[in-house]
Amino acid sequence: MPNKTAFACGYAAIVGPPNAGKSTLLNKLLNHKLSIVTPKPQTTRKKITGIYHNDRCQIIFLDTPGIMDPIQKLHESMLKTTRTTLNEADVIIALIPASKRTELFDRTFTNMLFEKWLDETKKPVIMALNKADILNEKERKDALRIIQDHWQPRKALAVSALHGTGIDALVDSLQPFLPLDTPLYPDDILSTAPERFFVSEIIREKVFLQYGQEIPYATEVVIDEFKEQHENNPSKKDVIRSSIIVERDSQKHILIGKKGAALKKLGMAARKDIEELLGRPVFLELFVKVRPDWRKKKSMLKSYGY
Ligand SMILES: Nc1nc2c(ncn2[C@@H]2O[C@H](COP(=O)(O)OP(=O)(O)OP(=O)(O)O)[C@@H](O)[C@H]2O)c(=O)[nH]1
């Protein structure tokens, strides 16, 4: 039996279908806006490390892109990232969203998740039924019983990432599987990813929120320059220059809008959040560039970090 009073530290991967609420869960756990959250599926493309601390444990969370069919090269590399992430983890959280449609959650997906992904890792799996706030008490119990009977995870629990319910129980259920007895990071560090990564995620989030249809999926954001000068000279703002990469001229026109109005709106919304994240004033300059079919080209995907 693990000693509950000892300190524990280790890696936990969060895996689930697109739109399961992984980013919302991570943000709630860390009480800080780390990964981006939008109502559209597949906005999380890169692994994000968030670090949770309490007086009994430190959990380093590995977020994964949603699992889906490898239709495009982009998806293939996302799936590879997910597999690597699962193998790096000490414990895996299978995050399955509750549903009100024909069944309480997607059993076909859950089956596929265990058969194609989780079973072969031989890692302990904690199954978290997210969005449990949309179910009533009986539905929650029924769903958890089905999960326990069919897939036998180490533990199955209902959570609501949005409302923050079940989060402490989730942390408690992870603790026995964390192998280290000392923390790996100081307790004031929430993430090892650099600030410029979060800045690009904010810009990408705003693209997702502001534009419809195919634009967000054809977009990549690259930070070209990140000049920190405010700390040394408080009369100056930090300067961030960023390129928004799209696939076609038509997408560029939409992004920029009439007389640049759409891009200006995007920049204002992004700057507000970036200043909030960094806690200092920022001058943000956005450029829109066309790179035909970047999503289909291996070398381009690589240069954007996929
Ligand atoms: N009702 C309810 N909605 C939730 C809950 N958690 C997340 N959501 C909503 O579900 C949607 C998707 O949440 P995200 O956190 O972006 O999902 P994700 O799994 O990170 O999505 P990807 O970007 O596809 O990886 C958002 O509209 C959230 O507000 C929850 O506990 N209850």
What CATH number is associated with residue 102? 3.40.50.300
Q: Are residues 167 and 230 in the same domain?
A: no
212 lines ligand 1 (CB under 6 A): no
Q: Is 136 helix (H, G, I), strand (E, B) or coil?
A: coil
Confidence bin at 44 (pLDDT 50/70/90): very low
pLDDT of residue 52: 86
The answer to whether residue 190 sits within a structural domain is: no
Domain interval for residue 166: 8-177
Q: Are residues 250 and 285 in the same domain?
A: yes
The answer to whether residue 54 sits within a structural domain is: yes
Task: Tell me if 52 sits within 8 A of 30, measured CB to CB.
Answer: yes
Last residue of a domain, one of 177, 211, 244: 177
Q: Which of 14, 19, 140, 163 to mutate to test the pocket of ligand 1 (most atoms within 8 A of CB)?
A: 19
Q: In the predicted model, what is the mean pLDDT of the chain?
A: 84
Q: Is 215 helix (H, G, I), strand (E, B) or coil?
A: coil
pLDDT of residue 74: 57
- Give the domain CATH number at 239: 3.30.300.20
Confidence bin at 300 (pLDDT 50/70/90): low
Residues 6+ apart with CB under 8 A from 186: none
Measured from the Cα of 36, ligand 1's closest atom is: 16
Please give the ipTM for the structure prediction: 0.97
Bridge partner list, 58: 9, 53
H-run or E-run covering 158: strand 155-158
Please name the residue ranges forming H helices in the chain. Answer: 22-30, 73-88, 107-112, 119-121, 137-151, 167-174, 195-210, 249-256, 261-278, 298-303
Task: Tell me if 240 sits within 8 A of 199, measured CB to CB.
Answer: yes
Q: Are residues 257 and 284 in the same domain?
A: yes
Last residue of a domain, one of 177, 209, 228: 177
42 lines ligand 1 (CB under 6 A): yes
The mean pLDDT of 191-214, rounded to a whole number, is 82
pLDDT of residue 47: 54
The answer to whether residue 19 sits within a structural domain is: yes
Please name the residue ranges forming H helices in 231-306. Answer: 249-256, 261-278, 298-303
Question: With 90 as the cut, is the pLDDT of residue 33 above it?
Answer: no
200 lines ligand 1 (CB under 6 A): no
Smallest CA separation from ligand 1 atom 16, residue: 37
44 lines ligand 1 (CB under 6 A): yes
Q: Are residues 165 and 206 in the same domain?
A: no
Q: Are residues 136 and 206 in the same domain?
A: no
pLDDT of residue 17: 87
Question: Is 3 marked as a binding-site residue?
Answer: no
The answer to whether residue 3 sits within a structural domain is: no
- Which tokens hold the place of 302? 């690589």
Last residue of a domain, one of 150, 177, 204: 177
Look at the alpha carbons of 8, 13, 19, 23 in this order and tell me if their dihedral is positive or negative. positive
Considering its fold, how many domains does the chain have in total?
2
Measured from the Cα of 27, ligand 1's closest atom is: 15
Confidence bin at 160 (pLDDT 50/70/90): very high
